[in-house]
Amino acid sequence: MAPEPAPRGLLLDWGGVLTSDVFAGFQIFCEDEGLDPLRVRELFAADPDGRQALVELETGVITEPEFEIRLAALLELGPDRTPGLVDRVFGSIVAEEEIFEALRIARASGIRTGLLSNSWGVERYPHDQLPKLFDAIVISGQEGVRKPDEAIYEIAVQRLALRATEIVFVDDLPGNLKPARALGMITVHHTSAAQTLSELEQHFALPLRAS
């Protein structure tokens, strides 16, 4: 049997991989708003109305302002606390600079790079910078489909112009890794920058940290 080809592509999630922990950010938001610290996380995980609102936002069915109205109602926040609600949800979430640096090193070394992200409004990305970082960009709100639907992974594979078996996919949610593995991708469950960088360096046989 012929050996599997070496990875030639790196596909990354945005929130929680190229940024700090999204769920920690949700908790900080809740504490700042006087809510139960796990309220937002539980809303999206277990509340049917919360999950539906999130799915519709991530697939571009509703706009961010429309989502803010629905989220504020679900959180029982008054109308005066609705404007800027998503800004506040993401207020403590920052760029994960070590992963960005690894991404730049990988691309400069000839690895094809891609973004595969479930979006909270498509304008929340630095669109002027994305082409400098990625060969392929797949944002759910622009595609009308979201992870873990297999179709969005197939779009990413097509745009990277590689075989799925040549791609390493990194995501912070285990459920989002399953469809990638089913297509043949190598997967990395992101829990910290150090852990992810160690795994990526092993897969690509390439140092991905600034000296």
The structural domains of the chain, ordered by start, are: 9-20+94-204 (3.40.50.1000), 22-89 (no CATH)
Give the number of other Cβ atoms within 10 Å of residue 126's Cβ.
9
Is it the case that residue 211 has pLDDT exceeding 80? no
Give the position of tokens 């070496």.
6
pLDDT tens across 47-86, in order? Answer: 999 999 999 999 999 999 999 999 999 999 999 999 999 9
What integer pLDDT is reported at residue 108 of this predicted model? 97
Beta strand ranges found along the chain (DSSP E):
9-12, 112-117, 136-139, 167-171, 186-189
Q: Kindly state the tokens that stand for 146.
A: 């979201």
Mean pLDDT across 104-131 = 96
Mean pLDDT across 33-42 = 97
Eight-state DSSP code of residue 115? E
Closest by Cα among 62, 165, 67, 154 to 116 = 154
Neighbouring-strand partners of residue 113: 10
Distance CA(135)–CA(115), nearest Å, equals 8
Give the number of other Cβ atoms within 10 Å of residue 52's Cβ.
13
Neighbouring-strand partners of residue 92: none
pLDDT tens across 121-173, in order? Answer: 888 999 999 999 999 999 999 999 999 999 999 999 999 999 999 999 999 99
The set of residues, in sequence order, having a beta carbon less than 8 Å from that of 174 and lying 6+ positions away, is 189
pTM: 0.95
What integer pLDDT is reported at residue 100 of this predicted model? 98
Q: Kindly state the tokens that stand for 158.
A: 């097509």
Mean pLDDT across 167-195 = 98
- Separation of CA 121 from chain center: 13
The C-alpha angle with vertex 84 and arms to 83 and 89, in degrees rounded to 5, equals 130
Dihedral in degrees, nearest 10, Cα atoms 72, 77, 81, 86? -30
What integer pLDDT is reported at residue 210 of this predicted model? 82
Mean pLDDT of the chain: 96
What integer pLDDT is reported at residue 6 of this predicted model? 80
Closest by Cα among 3, 4, 7, 5 to 204 = 7
Distance CA(133)–CA(24), nearest Å, equals 26
